[in-house]
């Protein structure tokens, strides 16, 4: 009987120990996020009046005008490993990254959601980006006479922007908490292959 009670007691203590540890981890994560937000705000204050920052904000305003007026939008999932120049031959690529899935956004409401997400996420301070740049998503829009392409890494919060095939700028992506690009691609895949579903 005693061993049973002993094991029960240990199990209870273990449960509360795990729960306490989870609470501590949650608190630690929240504290780390708060510190990170403060550091980003500090960097913004340092650089906000720099000539390059002013120019970056002008470019973002220009891009947002195009995003709001986009007549055609295409969303892509990318292989995040860049291809060597010789390996790109015969492959469907976006600025060196192989396109593994793509879909055109047909409905105006979804176009506004996706372009609005990218437009709001663009931020001028490239010094707050991460270091990885493993882009898994791309977007191509046509606005008037211009074709604009975005190569997005939501891991390091960075984006390369190309206007008419010429690299125009590199920006930070702020607070991309949800990813409507991926959601749209998954919905498009489900509609195209309802029996097969989504590949893992």
How many angstroms separate the CA atoms of 161 and 149, rounded?
6
Angle formed by the axes of helices 180-192 and 108-121, nearest 10°: 150
Q: What is the pLDDT at residue 1?
A: 44
How many angstroms separate the CA atoms of 96 and 92, rounded?
9
Q: What is the pLDDT at residue 156?
A: 85
* Tally of CB atoms within 10 A around 12: 10
3-class DSSP state of 172: strand
Contact between 156 and 150 under an 8 Å Cβ cutoff? The reply is no
**Domain 50-192 class?**
alpha beta
Confidence of residue 15 (pLDDT cuts 50, 70, 90): very low
Task: Look at residues 138, 31, 36 and name the one whose alpha carbon lies nearest to residue 82.
Answer: 138
Does 188 score more than 70 pLDDT? yes
Does 22 score more than 70 pLDDT? no
Q: What is the pLDDT at residue 93?
A: 96
Q: What is the pLDDT at residue 49?
A: 93
Q: Where are the domains of the chain?
A: 1-47, 50-192
Q: What is the pLDDT at residue 13?
A: 42
Q: What average pLDDT does range 61-89 have in this prediction?
A: 95
The residue count of the chain comes to 200
Q: What is the pLDDT at residue 90?
A: 87
Question: CA angle, 102 as apex, 99 and 105 as ends, to 5°?
Answer: 150
Can you point out the beta strands (E) in the chain? Answer: 72-78, 93-94, 97-104, 122-123, 137-143, 146-153, 158-163, 166-173
* Tally of CB atoms within 10 A around 116: 14
pTM (predicted TM-score): 0.77
Confidence of residue 18 (pLDDT cuts 50, 70, 90): very low
* Tally of CB atoms within 10 A around 75: 25
Contact between 97 and 111 under an 8 Å Cβ cutoff? The reply is no
Does 25 score more than 90 pLDDT? no
């Amino acid at each position: 009987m005693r061993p049973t009670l002993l094991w029960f007691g240990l199990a209870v203590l273990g449960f509360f120990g795990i729960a306490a540890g989870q609470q501590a981890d949650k608190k630690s994560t929240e504290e780390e996020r708060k510190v990170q937000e403060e550091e980003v705000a500090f960097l913004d204050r340092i650089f906000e009046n720099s000539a390059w920052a002013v120019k970056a904000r002008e470019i973002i305003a220009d891009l947002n005008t195009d995003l709001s007026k986009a007549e055609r939008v295409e969303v892509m999932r990318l292989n995040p490993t860049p291809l060597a120049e010789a390996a790109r031959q015969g492959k469907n690529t976006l600025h060196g990254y192989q396109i593994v899935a793509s879909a055109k956004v047909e409905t105006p409401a979804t176009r506004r959601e996706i372009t609005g997400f990218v437009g709001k996420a663009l931020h001028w301070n490239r010094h707050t980006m991460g270091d990885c740049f493993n882009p898994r998503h791309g977007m191509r829009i046509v606005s008037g006479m211009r074709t604009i392409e975005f190569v997005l890494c939501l891991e390091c919060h960075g984006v390369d922007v190309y206007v008419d095939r010429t690299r125009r700028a590199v920006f930070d992506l702020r607070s991309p908490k949800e990813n409507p690009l991926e959601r749209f691609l998954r919905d498009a895949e489900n509609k195209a292959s309802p029996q097969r579903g989504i590949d893992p």
